[in-house]
Amino acid sequence: MCSSLLGRPVSGRPIQRGFGSWVRAMQLPALVLPAAMLTALCVAMTASTADAGIGLGNQQTVGGVMIAPDGSVRAATIEEQKEMAQVVRNAMQVPAGELAEATDRRVISLNGLQAALQEAHESGKHLDTETMFLAGMQRIEYVIVDEENNDILLAGPAEPWMVRPDGHVVGTKTGGSVLRLDDLVTAFSSVETARNDGGIRCSIEPTAEGRVRLQNFLKNVKLRPGQNPAYLEAGMRQAFGPQQIFLAGVPTDSRFARTLVAADFEMKRIAMGLTQSPVAGLPSYLEIAKNQAQSSVSSPRWWMACDYDPIAHDADGRVWKISGQGVKTLTEDDTFDKEGKVRSTGRQNPLATKWADMMTEQFEDLSRERPVFRDLRNAMDLAVVATLVTQQQLDQKSGIDLSVLRGKDSQVELASYDMPKTLEPQCSFIKGRAGWTVTASGGVNVNAFAVSENAVIDETLGSVAVASDSASRWWWNSK
């Protein structure tokens, strides 16, 4: 739920050559970005780029918001969303040739991609849209070891891209957000960091002091029969105070990190009824929990996690297939003591579980309406690919040197963005028969190591072919 999170480019730090270099000529006044752009930059920006880092906006058609430096939040107008979309259109190239056609299997050569990045770095050229959008790839379905050419190939569906009215860049066929080069680089360069941090994680949490203040506030609340508690919410939020942002496993100033925070933020807003759900089959938690018994000592927490099938590979470990929805929503009840410290109960509220299951079931439809969730899955996919290559030592098996993508040679310069440490309180309150329930906690947990280690043999994968018909490009289409 990141309207407020996404920060702005760090002032005084030039965005050079690689990702984001094209924005240097686009110095815009502070403007409101669509909440959809949460994943990329959702905030008031002074020296603005349409989309942080590598290029263009991550978007969201409904519920655009602006987070000012003082922490205030307001909805973006339709005109502001249109302005943002036009900035993005002006900054990118329209797909042409084979890029203008959808295909079930496009192949990326990591050797070729690294060579293109190295050439751009040495010549000082700006990266083109084709490279920033990874040739229009929608998902990575296959990771293939090409020992003959000392290469690793990534294959999956691809399609032309377009800019939605709210500024999001999506595929013209499925409407899904395109994969991003900067997320791929962050994924590869963060594998060891994620290992040391116990995975890639994000959460937005109230402080212990805020919980105590809220408890004291509620002790003095006396509602008359039939009285609407809505008038208390401003005072409750003030007592609750700012919520803290926690990130681990990836650089906090990366687009990848902003995507995690944005998706978490938006999930909570939908769950808590702070924004209208765009999917008919996904009402807010407040709607399904209305007039039900509520616990006065615990509250539900939701988080999004990886949801992949076992990774299949051929007998020789040459071809690896990644499948599954990618993202699921989980829940558990939290309880807190008199000091406001939280502990997990290990229990699940049936109504909270129902909402989590509904979001998982509606994820595809939701991610088309709110591309921030597709951006999250894209980030998870790339984290799984980078972790798989590292854990299974596919780079050593193929003989490829991945130092460029892993950032060891400083040839890929990612744009850097300030990430706020706290947010204005985003929470809802339910008055039930047993007391008040406060819904405010959430998060994202990307355990790519568990996914990469859950592997099974599928001997039919040995027949997967991705032969290239062009030696001059780092990508091609394969039947």
pLDDT per residue over 45-69, tens digit each? Answer: 222 223 333 343 333 322 234 544 4
Q: Which of 34-48, 117-131, 361-375, 377-391 shows the highest mean pLDDT?
A: 377-391
CA neighbor of 67 nearest in space, from 46, 30, 48, 42: 42
pLDDT-derived band of residue 405, with 50, 70 and 90 as boundaries?
very high
CA neighbor of 253 nearest in space, from 263, 244, 242, 261: 261
- Rounded Cα–Cα distance for residues 76 and 35 (Å): 8
Q: Which one is predicted more confidently, 335 or 185?
A: 185
pLDDT-derived band of residue 170, with 50, 70 and 90 as boundaries?
very high
pLDDT-derived band of residue 314, with 50, 70 and 90 as boundaries?
very high
Model pLDDT, residue 329: 96
Find out whether 64 and 75 touch, Cβ atoms under 8 Å.
yes
Model pLDDT, residue 159: 97
Find out whether 8 and 49 touch, Cβ atoms under 8 Å.
no
Sign of the dihedral defined by the CA atoms of residues 51, 53, 58, 63, in that order: negative
Model pLDDT, residue 84: 79
Return the C-alpha torsion angle 296, 297, 303, 309, nearest 10.
-110
- Rounded Cα–Cα distance for residues 408 and 422 (Å): 31
pLDDT per residue over 94-110, tens digit each? Answer: 999 999 999 999 999 99
* All residues at 6 or more sequence positions from 64 whose CB lies less than 8 Å from its CB, including other chains: 3, 32, 33, 34, 35, 36, 37, 75, 76, 77, 80, 81, 166
Find out whether 401 and 204 touch, Cβ atoms under 8 Å.
no
Q: Return phi, psi of residue 93, to 5°.
A: -90, 145
- Rounded Cα–Cα distance for residues 24 and 22 (Å): 6
pLDDT-derived band of residue 431, with 50, 70 and 90 as boundaries?
low
Find out whether 441 and 345 touch, Cβ atoms under 8 Å.
no
Q: What pTM value is reported for the model? A: 0.83
Q: Average pLDDT, whole number, for the chain?
A: 78
Domain locations in the chain? 61-207+242-477
| Residue 456 backbone class (left: φ over 0; alpha: ψ -120 to 50; beta: rest) | beta
pLDDT-derived band of residue 131, with 50, 70 and 90 as boundaries?
very high
